[in-house]
Structures are given as structure tokens and as C-alpha cells.
Amino acid sequence: MKPKSAVRYVGSALLALGSAAALTLPAAAAATGDAFASPEMLTAMQRDLGLTADQATARVTNEMKAAEADAGLRGTLGSSYAGSHFADGSAKLTVSVTDAAKADAIRATGAEVRVVARSAAQLDAVKSTLDKADQQANGVSGWYVDTVSNRIVVTAKVVADGEKFVKASGADAAAITVLQSNEDPTTLYDVRGGDAYYMGGGRCSVGFSVQGGYVTAGHCGTVGTATQGFNRVASGSFRGSSFPGNDYAWVGTNSNWTPRGVVNRYNGGTVAVKGSSEAAVGASICRSGSTTGWRCGTVQAKNQTVRYPQGTVNGMTRTNACAEPGDSGGSWLAGNQAQGVTSGGSGNCSSGGTTYFFPVNPILSRYGLRLVTS
């Protein structure tokens, strides 16, 4: 029997996942850290996540190997797969599943097992119902799949507004939690000068190089918008762009520009990109942007819907790394793996905040692009 009040209000804030504590790997594994992340990224992780050098190396090694295991388990577990995450303070990946009979397959990879009520597909279906009711989400800042709680989380400044939205949407309220949140998401577009790329008087940041150009945020420009590089030399134009709904674009560059498989550190150095394997919830992640440079945090949730003043964007990833105007379109990396491009958020790098990025793999797939790697 369903409870009388299926929509729950839990606290006033989400807890950050994946703390610096208790990262213990064999010395041989830790020694391979440089294969998964550049020295610059490891330094940024130490600064923003409060890690020692050894902890940063061990953590990124562990998380990249866990990402490989998780990718394999998605196929093995099929429809019973319910997501994965790093529990707070743990270096061991937890994989959730709805079928207890498949626990041994998870344990065989070295991961922890958690049996839950809802599969990832079922949670996505609930979120999809909310997405379709976007026009009724007055006072709501967003909603996302929370792998840790095995529920959908709706955020609103006033809890009653979130509860009203859930009821109006027709979504399964028993699978939804409403959280009070003062977040007020905005896109991170800026009209000030800078050293990234320019378009129509504005400035955004390059995401990742692809064959023929680079990917970036959709709100930075529409198809046909001309671009200039960091040095104000004509560089190309937007060949594809989607915003709102999505927040991604790709810019085709002219023959004067050569896409390289690296991310600019804005200090004279670069970070190599080796691929685009998706990091788990709770994993450490770093971003680069032309306003605030390198900043790190952790992945808090995936499949986040965000309501901006310009419109709603679906399918994003939520993080606790900070960003500011002008960082839009910039790169997100987990180790040496490309994760996505900056969309927007709330807060800043003085007081902290929440930042969202659009995953890179769907962008590559949508436009048939190939990531340039080092």
C-alpha cells in the first residue's frame, strides 16, 4: 500500500559525495596514476578536494578502473542495472541492481553490491514524465536521477512548489523526493573580453577538439554564428547548436586552426585527452574555463534537468565544482577522460556553488563527430 504522502522532503541540501578519506590502493596501482591523469590535474585535485599527492594519484587510478568495470557491468546486468556510485569516504565502487541473483557478477569485478527497488531505466522513465511537464514546474529549479537514494530528486526554493509540480506531472510520487534548495541556475555566458573564443561580442570557452573543430555549449551561439579564436583571428562558425532542451554545439574551424587532443591549462601547459569513458557518481572531476581556470569537485548526479530563464535543459550532470560567467562550453575531465562541456550553474568560485555540464558522448553521437585524443 502506498504511503499517504508519497512525496518526501528531506533536509535542505545534498551531501557532496566521494570525500578524501580512506583511499587505499596497492602501491603498484597507485604508481599508475600518471597514466590516468596529468600532473596538472592531480595538483588541481589536491587543491580543490583537500587531497595529498598520494591520495590524488590513488583516487584517480581507482576511479578510472572502476569506470571501466562499470561500463562492462551495464551490459552484463541488462535491465536490472540501477546505477553506480562511490559512497562517501569509500574508495570502492558500489553498483546497484534490482535482481539479487546477479550479485555475484558484480562482486567478481571487486565492486560492492546493493539491491534496490528501481532500475536505472525505471528511474529514467519517472524523470521523463517530469520532463514532459516542464511548463508546470513553477518555482522549481530542476530535477535529477539520484543513484545513491534510488529516487528522483526535485529541487525548489519552496517545497510546496515542488510537491505541486510532482502531483501535476502525474509522475510516480513514491519514487520522488522534494528538496528545498536556494539554487537559481543561470547559463555561464559572458560578454566581457577574455582569452577563449569570441562570437558576436560575447565570449565562451572551448570544450574538446573533434575532427574539424571543437564542441562547446549550445547557448554560446546559433548555427552560422562566426567565431574568432583567443587571439581574435577568425576561426570558423557554429555548424550545429541545440539550446534549450539540450545545451551543446560544435564549431567547424578553418584551415588556420588545428584541433589538438589537449585541454588548455591557461598557465602555459596542457592536459592530454585520452578518451571519453564516463565517470561514476561520486567520482572526482575537474573543469577548465577561460574565466576561472582549473577547478575540481565531484559528480553528484546524472540525468539532471535544469530550468534556466532561457528554457529548460535535460540530460545534464550535476557537480559541486564551481564556475563563473565565461566558463561556458569549457572542458570537464575525469582523469584523462573527456566528460562534457560546461552549461551553467549557481554560485561562484568565491563562495562555491553547483555547476552542470552536458555529457560529451551524446554530443559526439548527435553530430557524428570523433574526439581528437593525444
**Cα–Cα dist 66/109, whole Å:** 9
CB atoms within 10 A of CB 370: 10
**Cα–Cα dist 146/222, whole Å:** 32
CB atoms within 10 A of CB 238: 21
What is the edge-to-edge ordering of all strands in the sheet holding 93-97?
Answer: 81-86, 93-97, 112-115
**Cα–Cα dist 227/235, whole Å:** 6
CB atoms within 10 A of CB 331: 30
Q: What angle do CA 319, 153, 133 make, to 5 degrees?
A: 110
Q: Which residues are catalytic?
A: 219, 247, 328
**Cα–Cα dist 313/356, whole Å:** 10
Bridge partners, 142 (sequence order):
155, 306
